[in-house]
């Protein structure tokens, strides 16, 4: 906590504009973690989530408490992928399979948040109840309702950066091979093959851990009863 406080205080005089991203769930979404979150919420009398995990409020409360004097707004960002779209993973990247990701952004003034720590934490939890209800609507209708949708297309800057780095890395790799003459001896060939084998194994492990689990509809997971507050939000 002390480290977070000192870090937040240093941001007050940060010389350039900045964004502070907080991943409220604190971990990757999986069906097993969702079931744990549902059981915990049910045992504590909290709204039972279906599409999100329970937010961890401590870091957010500290951030608001120490930065509300110089941070004007908070953006609540929700990312989702349609059920008929492939889930983004390293495997889909290698296969060249694109995924359409839809983003909903809500803007909140910092002045709208409560002053007390308990109030901030409750505001945060209520935001996730609304987020869960919003995703329920999206998965039922396939749209964000009447909200305006803006196509951002493919960012050119990211493509340029990728091309530049690819050229630099390829050139460096070719230079190393020519300098060391790896392919001129049996030892060099063996070392190269061994390195490629290790890299392949590591990539397979990363692919395994990056793949999303099957959708909720395809898994026999018991969904606990919905919370009345969430039912009200769904009807809005």
Instruction: Kindly state the average pLDDT of the residues 32-38.
Output: 91
- Which of 12, 44, 7, 41 lies closest to 132, judged by CA? 41
Confidence bin at 42 (pLDDT 50/70/90): very high
**Alpha-carbon span 96 to 104, nearest angstrom:** 25
Instruction: Kindly state the average pLDDT of the residues 183-201.
Output: 80
Confidence bin at 204 (pLDDT 50/70/90): confident
Instruction: Please check whether residue 79 lies inside any domain of the structure.
Output: yes
**Alpha-carbon span 47 to 234, nearest angstrom:** 13
Mean pLDDT for the chain overall: 80
Total structural domains within the chain: 1
Confidence bin at 183 (pLDDT 50/70/90): low
Instruction: Please check whether residue 55 lies inside any domain of the structure.
Output: yes
Instruction: Kindly state the average pLDDT of the residues 176-186.
Output: 72
pLDDT in tens, 156-166: 887 888 899 99
Q: Which residues pair with 77 in a beta bridge?
A: 105
Residue 101: φ, ψ to 5°: -105, 130
Instruction: Please check whether residue 203 lies inside any domain of the structure.
Output: no
Instruction: Please check whether residue 200 lies inside any domain of the structure.
Output: no
Instruction: Please check whether residue 178 lies inside any domain of the structure.
Output: no
For residue 198, give every residue at least 6 positions away whose Cβ sits within 8 Å of its Cβ, in sequence order, or none.
none
Q: Which domain does 6 fall in, by range?
A: 2-149+225-234
Cα torsion 41, 46, 52, 58: sign: negative
Instruction: Please check whether residue 192 lies inside any domain of the structure.
Output: no
Count each helix (H run) and each strand (E run) in the chain, helices first. 8, 2
Q: pLDDT value at position 209?
A: 67
**In the predicted structure, residue 38 carries a pLDDT above the cut 80:** yes
Instruction: Please check whether residue 208 lies inside any domain of the structure.
Output: no
């Amino acid at each position: 906590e002390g480290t977070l406080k000192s870090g937040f205080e240093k941001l007050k005089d940060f010389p350039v504009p900045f964004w502070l991203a907080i991943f409220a769930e604190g971990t990757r979404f999986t069906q097993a973690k969702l079931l744990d979150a549902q059981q915990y919420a049910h045992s504590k009398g909290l709204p039972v989530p279906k599409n999100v995990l329970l937010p961890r409020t401590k870091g957010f409360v500290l951030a608001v408490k120490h930065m509300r004097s110089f941070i004007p707004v908070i953006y609540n960002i929700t990312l989702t992928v349609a059920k008929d779209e492939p889930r983004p993973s390293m495997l889909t990247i290698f296969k060249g399979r694109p995924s359409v990701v839809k983003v909903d952004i809500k803007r909140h003034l910092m002045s709208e948040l409560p002053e007390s720590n308990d109030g901030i934490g409750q505001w945060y939890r209520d935001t996730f109840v609304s987020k869960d209800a919003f995703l329920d609507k999206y998965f039922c209708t396939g749209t964000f309702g009447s909200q305006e949708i803006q196509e951002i297309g493919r960012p050119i800057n990211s493509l340029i950066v990728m091309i530049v780095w690819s050229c630099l890395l390829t050139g460096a790799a070719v230079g190393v091979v020519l300098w060391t003459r790896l392919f001129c001896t049996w030892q060099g060939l063996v070392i190269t093959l061994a390195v490629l084998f290790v890299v392949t194994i590591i990539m397979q492990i990363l692919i395994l851990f990056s793949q999303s689990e099957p959708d909720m509809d395809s898994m026999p997971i018991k969904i606990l009863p919905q919370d009345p507050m969430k039912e009200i939000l769904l009807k809005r």
